[in-house]
Chain A
Amino acid sequence: MSLALKALFKQPLAARVATRTPRALVSAVRYNSTATGETITVREALNQAIEEEMERDETVWLLGEEVAQYNGAYKVSKGLLDKFGPKRVVDTPITEMGFAGLAVGAAFHGTKPICEFMTFNFAMQAIDQIINSGAKTHYMSGAFAKCPIVFRGPNGAAAGVAAQHSQDYASWYGQIPGLKVVSPYDAEDAKGLMKAAIRDPNPVVVLENELMYGVSFPSTSEIASKDFVAPLGKAKIAREGTDITIATYSRPVGFALEAAELLAKEGISAEVINLRSIRPLDLDAIIKSIKKTNHLMTVEQGFPQFGMGSEISAQIMESEAFDYLDAPVCRVTGADVPMPYAQNLEALALPDTEVIYKQAKRVLNIE
């Protein structure tokens, strides 16, 4: 392991992600894109996406706690009130069930709301409106009512915020027919997926990550384009490889890429898939990769039971990819405990680069 990377491991978790991205985290595969030499944070990418879509379509509006005058609890909506005014950027009371329902109703009747939850933990109060009113209505009404809404906000573990503020809801929302669910990793994902989500006529849940907001990535011509929309339902190969497939989403993509670097130094070539989309899941991308590598490991920070890894395992077993596996699919997940506060315990509850690196070797039966 290089000295630089060793030093990286010694830094506390929060400090590590606050720094500039090491080269390892940069997507190794680019198609038709040119780096413009500048960088952009995930937060800026989300801000730009929302701003561009609000400019493009007058029926798009944003609501949530602190989105307007406070410029966003995490500053994702910075500057939007100044630009678009209070009609289109609306501060809500702290009443998730009420304002999520209000947003769904406004979506039924000719507007396109972006409904922010300060974190998805709070969205549990509103989940009936998201699922029963939002996701299912188009079907139940025989296509009468449409619900072009985006529910967005930080999802999953942050740093030191403990049990009630750390849950990953990807598998909960991923289960629901009628919803689309995406989870960006880098700035390109954030911009492209958010724009696509806002333009999509279905209800879309965008699961962001608080610890990724401040992370910089190289800006590309795609990101700079006002018409760049990432297709919902398509994964991205973040790093090509031949020995093992690591499928993951959101912040763990970064850890997987770091782990791949460590594995490469030992002659192991890992392919990292940034899923981007939870529902619909790009199973084809995973199958194609397994045909190459014969090994699959999934990584998520959410609870282990009934999670994303469980689902991918099951789908892979039911697919032609089963015949290509040289080992059972292995899931790397959060620990099955409510998130503890103490830093050392929190670290033991979440998979990081080292856990992924070690587990990949186990899957490959390498000491």
Chain B
Amino acid sequence: MASAASGDTVTFDLGDSAFEGYNIDVPSTSVTMGREEALGMYRAMQEVRRLEMAADSSYKHKLIRGFCHLCTGQEAVPVGVERALTAEDAVITAYRCHGFTYMRGASAMGILAELMGRGAGVSKGKGGSMHMYAPNFYGGNGIVGAQVPLGAGIAFAQKYNGANACTVALYGDGAANQGQVFESYNMAKLWDLPVLFVCENNKYGMGTAASRAAANTDYYTRGQYIPGIRVNGMDVLAVRQAIAYGREYAISGKGPLVLEMKTYRYGGHSMSDPGTTYRTREEIQHMRSTSDPIMGYKHRLLENGVATEDDLKQIDKQAKKFIDEELAKAKAAPEPKSAELWDDVYVKGSGVPYLRGRVPEETHYY
């Protein structure tokens, strides 16, 4: 991976195994960017990692209830996706959404507060882990696969309104077998919608290995008549490069692409799943030590002279401190007021006269 950092830019060589194409040429494996931007991606991944670790520990301390799906190990995907997009592009994913919510501009405090059900949460405490939103980020969706037609629809609106933008609609290897995903492929291709269908293949749909759920595990080929690219999803630069390439394709009016990010989660499916009954500890350890996205990128930055060991250690410390501070703020935030139970059932100003409570005497009049 020889390259040089000269002045303010650096060029990376991603290597031949970064991409595989299906009916399309793969993107260039040579990536050039500013030094600041390169470092910024390291910081971002570290912050996402720390954010998820804070969520993990808060859940174990019973500050977070219900479902909590962490993306620890998959950080390269939310960071790489965001760094290839503009603010006008849109993103939508399923419930493993904290990293995307953060990268799309929500505050870490807002995300942690939402997890803890506080009024200062990004969804005012009304959504929880699976229903987080940010500018041009449509969640955070709890029903497996439902986000894919929604993503096609967002792209439809972008095209309808003449926006120079695309939508990235993510789904997992488990969701990839859903019928509505294929219905979305069909309409997107038929109408040349500027949508990138991105399969985050972390090898397991909850406890079911991909090969036990899919007759064809080459998810980047599942679009059949839609070209596809398989990407090393543990390499943040490869993710970024593939999304940038896809974005240009989609926005130029050529229609959708299917991208498969090969990635891995260290944790279980959610906080209720130890993640070790359907895979070995050795496998998890192996992935951590050989394919960790943050470590891998760190080596890249060091080798290419973008930063020193100390620079990066500094960033690590700052990220930890930053998230610790955000966590403290979130812990101190109060629960929503009781009256907020009744807010936002309908759009303000266009609601209904009253809604029933648990008993007639608790009927709420607007």
Contacts and interface: CB of A to CB of B under 8 A. Distances in A.
Interface of A: 59, 61, 87, 90, 92-93, 95, 97-111, 128-129, 132-133, 137-146, 177-178, 180, 200-202, 233, 279-280, 318
Contacts of B92: 105
17 contacts: A61-B160, A95-B187, A100-B149, A102-B152, A105-B153, A106-B156, A108-B157, A132-B143, A138-B346, A141-B131, A141-B139, A142-B126, A143-B343, A143-B344, A177-B355, A202-B350, A279-B352
A98 B150 contact: no
B107 interface: no
Interface in B154-203: 154-158, 160-161, 179-180, 183-184, 186-187, 190-191
A140 B123 contact: yes
Contacts of A110: 157, 161
- The list of the 10 closest CB pairs from A to B, nearest first, reads A105-B153, A98-B183, A101-B149, A142-B124, A105-B150, A102-B153, A109-B157, A142-B123, A95-B183, A280-B352
B142 interface: yes
Among A90, A95, A107, A279, the one with the most B-chain Cβ atoms within 10 Å of its Cβ is: A95
A178 B146 CA distance: 18
Given A107-B153, A133-B141, 15 more contacts: A97-B180, A102-B187, A104-B150, A106-B157, A106-B160, A109-B158, A111-B156, A111-B160, A140-B127, A142-B124, A144-B122, A144-B133, A145-B133, A177-B345, A201-B350
B150 A108 contact: yes
Contact of A142 (B121, B152, B184): B121
Contacts of B133: 141-142, 144-145
A107 B161 CA distance: 12
A140 B126 contact: yes
A200 B350 contact: yes
A111 B157 contact: yes
A323 B121 CA distance: 46
B355 A146 contact: no
Interface string B299-318: 00000000000000000000
Interface string B54-88: 00000000000000000000000000000000000
Contact of A105 (B142, B152, B344): B152
Contacts, number: 154
B347 interface: yes
Interface of B: 90, 92, 121-127, 131, 133, 138-143, 146, 148-158, 160-161, 179-180, 183-184, 186-187, 190-191, 343-348, 350, 352-353, 355, 360
A107 B138 CA distance: 12
Among A101, A106, A129, A145, the one with the most B-chain Cβ atoms within 10 Å of its Cβ is: A101
Given A141-B131, A178-B346, A108 B154 contact: yes
Contacts of A99: 149, 183, 187
Contact of B146 (A87, A90, A129): A129
Contacts of A92: 187
Nearest to A94: B183
Among B160, B179, B345, the one with the most A-chain Cβ atoms within 10 Å of its Cβ is: B160
A133 to B, nearest CB: 6
A142 to B, nearest CB: 3
B138 A145 contact: yes
Contact of B344 (A90, A100, A139): A139
Nearest to A199: B350
A111 B90 CA distance: 15
A332 to B, nearest CB: 25
Contacts of A95: 180, 183, 186-187
Contact of B153 (A106, A140, A200, A202): A106
Contact of A102 (B127, B150, B343): B150
Contacts of A98: 149, 152, 180, 183-184, 186-187
A231 to B, nearest CB: 11
B352 A138 contact: no
Given A108-B154, A128-B146, A133-B146, A233 B353 contact: yes
A333 to B, nearest CB: 23
A97 B149 contact: yes
A291 B173 CA distance: 60
Given A101-B146, A201-B347, A106 B154 contact: yes
B153 A101 contact: yes
A137 B150 CA distance: 12
Contacts of B142: 132
B345 A138 contact: yes
B160 A101 contact: no
Nearest to B181: A98
A106 B151 CA distance: 8
A70 B164 CA distance: 32
B191 to A, nearest CB: 8
A129 B348 CA distance: 22
A280 B187 contact: no
B181 to A, nearest CB: 9
A25 B2 CA distance: 85
A240 B363 CA distance: 30
B190 A93 contact: yes
Contacts of B155: 105
B149 A109 contact: no
Among A90, A106, A107, A233, the one with the most B-chain Cβ atoms within 10 Å of its Cβ is: A106
A248 B219 CA distance: 52
Nearest to A139: B344
A138 B153 contact: no
A141 B149 CA distance: 19
A101 B148 contact: yes
B12 to A, nearest CB: 34
Contact of A140 (B90, B131, B186, B190): B131
